[in-house]
A and B are shown apart, each in its own frame.
Chain A
């Protein structure tokens, strides 16, 4: 959408900005190689020169390829292949784009024509700030991934990794995860505990959410407050309370009824996790039920369906997306949970997060990074699923036009 007709800008204006941008890169490269000010000056000069030279070529595509090649060469000279790939490529693309973006006046195209230069500057400055915050949000997650392929047992990039030497990379941490008994057992435990806890919280939670969405529920606010309290009370307090309570329950189950100790341990952890997952199910399912058309159940009843049939054939398919995303929330809550399991469970219920936690606190092993990468992949998968479900649910309820 174009708001303003654009025109070419004076070269002096363009050169000023590209010089500043060049100075910034020059400063970094300069300080890294001994002298900041020299780098700064050379960078500024180079940036200004680019601004003056490129438009003279009269061929934007060629000019931008040339800048890209130049910057890759410069960064390769200073920092080897890793720097060339990481910084050079990006900087090369950026300087080419930036020069022409300014020179052709494209930056004004989408802005209202009456904005003053100061307002334009603020507009883009603000975007740069936001970009920086997004970088802050996402960098830690991105940094973990390449590090998990480290061939050494370090938590940092080795010189081999930076020079993209295949020797520097390996899958050994993943191998360790898949062959180490400790990790495998804890992974298995997580896969036992989380699904069962999810099933409990989803089945009870869905029923209760349907009950709560009826029009006349005595004490609705109080009930709601109780049901979502596990989400509000800090985990450490829940864990403390459950620690006292479940150790008594455990003693009772083991001593008086005579159940197996490991089995009782699983029961305790599963029940505790089920409670923690319930608020998420309640919230998502009640939110879905808000948009549910009640006349559908009445119509079904009118045509002779009993309440159970109505629930499974009419209501359930419609609220299923909400139920599933509530279930995913409950699953991730249990799968991610470490404080409660740390207090309530015993060593034979060690879950994956618990293993990671001890790993981080005591013997720090890079296998954690491999696990972290796997979990990030899993969360991307979950995020996609939830998003798709949300869209489907909105479509089913006719809330967003197709």
Chain B
């Protein structure tokens, strides 16, 4: 090529083959590369985020969430905020009234026992209090129903109520109330309700008889959307009579011209309407309701978010008088945390002691024999965890292999066999065996990189065997020990299966307590709080692991 045919390069930016500036062209190529990489990663990332990270986050959320009180007793929680817990008086009629209607609806949907169970974690006796009160709620309404029926028997007819509460044909509707009650119901029942419902409360009647309209709206929604029945044909529930009595005893019927105006006036004049004494009713149903302690507990735990589960997880509790330690006989969790940490440390220590010589000999033998010995390490590593655990159960039992051999050898008397299982010894032995490969493998990979000539150099300079090892070899192998130890420690503090099977009651870990609260005691909030604490510990350790070894250096087999 000669200079004559070559056009002079244009002044300005260098161009790519297609004429765009090279800089932009490169940037576009880089962007495309990034997009392609992200598109390849995206499906998995979304999958892991949705099916792993979100569950973990929801667990974290559950450890502070406490909406059950507010969802079950929405009106009572509103009222209880105004009650002065430090006063020496139990709450007034308003709170008892709100509680009555909240409890009634919750009992209809069988939700009150859940709340009882929840509050029972804080104060024993709450569970039975809610269950028993729930059974007696109908009694108050029955009296009013009979009295009303005696005045006029239209009051027990479903159609009367439907017409009265909707305010008659063409009456102005109270859409806000309807919406409120839908929300109340769906939060209480923990489900989303079908969109359509046919009942609409009337505006005029809801101003005249607010309580009755509110309760009837809820009743109609339950009948229609949950029980799938026609609300205009379902017998009115007892709470409606109580609400009507409460409303009518204060309402001024003078200006009312809607449906059943005459019948309502007749009812008021008959003297069957009296203001219900909610307080007396509750205290009569169960005297616990007349105690300050009950109300203080409910007040303390009525907020929608609570630190209560975390406090429980560290053996403390939230009381009306502030945060206190649990009573002596209930303090088990801190002990369990400490035990988990100590036993994990012992297991890690045992793994270091047993793993170091093995890793050393694997790294220093000729390749061929090292590979053969490696099988002995990898076989347990690959064998099912359940198999190894059952093997240890077989070995460690009172009638197990170890005891039989010791008895046959005469080292242990037949009547004083060693207790190796269902205690801490069992857990430590079995878990050391199970986690040993996790210690050996990182140690081995570090020791392989240590040049043996250093050791020889040290010895030729006059170091004794011990000095050469301690001052030259050992410091170089510390990264392996660190990596293996953190790995074993992380794995062991979260172990569940092995302690459960060989640990009995004394050799169990905090994870067994979590499982117990999930599947037996159903105290999910506490399980979530314990899980969160454990997770934080593990993430902290993992962060150290990342600093020392690096995530990318995790090797398998």
Find residues 359-413 in chain B having any chain A CB closer than 8 Å to their own CB.
Answer: 361, 373, 375-380, 382-395, 397, 399-401, 404, 408-411
Residues of A within 8 A of B556 (CB): 280, 283-284, 329
A303 interface residue per 8 A CB criterion? no
* Cβ–Cβ contact B386 & A237, under 8 A: no
Residue B1 lies at the interface, judged by CB distance under 8 Å to chain A: no
A81 CB to nearest B CB, Å: 15
The CB with the most chain B CB atoms within 10 A, among A154, A207, A240, A272, is that of: A240
Q: Which residues from 304 to 352 on chain B have a C-beta closer than 8 Å to any C-beta of chain A?
A: none
Shortest A188–chain B CB gap in Å is 17
Residue A301 at the B interface, CB < 8 A? no
Contacts of A368 in B (CB 8 A): 390
In contact, B554 and A31 (Cβ under 8 angstroms): no
Complex Cα distance, B500 from A331, in Å, reads 24
Give the residues in chain A near B463, CB-CB below 8 Å: none
Q: Is the CB of A240 within 8 A of B389?
A: no
Query: How many residues does chain A have at the interface if contact means C-beta atoms less than 8 Å apart?
Result: 95
Q: In the bound complex, do residue A155 and residue B58 qualify as a contact, i.e. CB atoms below 8 Å apart?
A: no
Segment from B114-122, B125-133, B267-275, B488-496 that makes contact with A: B488-496
Point out the residue from A31, A133, A237, A239 that lies within 8 Å of B409, measured CB to CB: A31
Instruction: Check A157/B494 contact, CB under 8 A, given A32-B409, A245-B54.
Output: no
| Separation of A255 and B194 alpha carbons in the complex (Å) | 12
Looking across the interface, which residue of chain B has its beta carbon closest to that of A35?
A: B410
A255 to B191, CA, bound (A): 10
A376 surroundings in chain B (CB, below 8 A): 383-384, 387
Q: Which residues of chain B from 5 to 64 have a CB within 8 Å of any chain A CB?
A: 30, 33-34, 36-41, 43-45, 47-49, 51-59, 62
Is the Cβ of B40 less than 8 Å from the Cβ of A208? yes
**Residue of B whose beta carbon sits closest to that of A204:** B44
Q: A226 on the interface (CB 8 Å rule)? A: yes
Q: Mark B260-284, 1 if CB is under 8 A from A, else 0.
A: 0000000000000000000000000
A216: B residues at CB distance < 8 A: 30, 33-34, 37
B496 & A235 in contact (Cβ 8 Å cutoff) = yes
Residues B41 and A240 in contact, CB atoms below 8 Å apart: no
Which of B138-146, B178-186, B528-536 binds A? Answer: B528-536
**Residue pair B387, A375 in contact (C-beta under 8 Å):** yes
- Of A155, A204, A239, A283, the contact of B43 (CB 8 Å cutoff): A204
The answer on a CB contact under 8 Å between B37 and A229 is no
Asked if A243 is an interface residue, CB under 8 A from chain B, the answer is yes
- Which residue, of A122, A232, A353, has the highest number of chain B Cβ atoms within 10 A? A232
Candidates A138, A223, A287, A356; contact of B379 at CB < 8 Å: A138
Segment 221-266 of B: residues with Cβ below 8 Å from A: none
Given the contacts A134-B373, A140-B388, A275-B51, A379 and B36 also touching, CB distance less than 8 Å: no
* Partner among A28, A133, A143, A246 whose Cβ is within 8 Å of the Cβ of B401: A143
| A residues near B404, Cβ cutoff 8 Å | 156-157
Q: Is there an interface contact between B393 and A227, defined as CB atoms closer than 8 Å? A: no
A-B contact pairs, 9 of them (CB 8 A): A141-B387, A144-B394, A216-B30, A227-B45, A229-B48, A234-B493, A242-B52, A245-B51, A278-B47
- Additional A-B contacts beyond A155-B397, A204-B44, A278-B47 (8; CB < 8 A): A140-B388, A221-B551, A233-B538, A234-B490, A235-B496, A236-B515, A241-B55, A244-B62
For the complex of A and B, list the 10 residue pairs with the smallest distance between their C-beta atoms, beginning with the closest: A234-B494, A211-B40, A245-B55, A140-B391, A241-B55, A208-B44, A31-B410, A241-B59, A236-B511, A211-B41
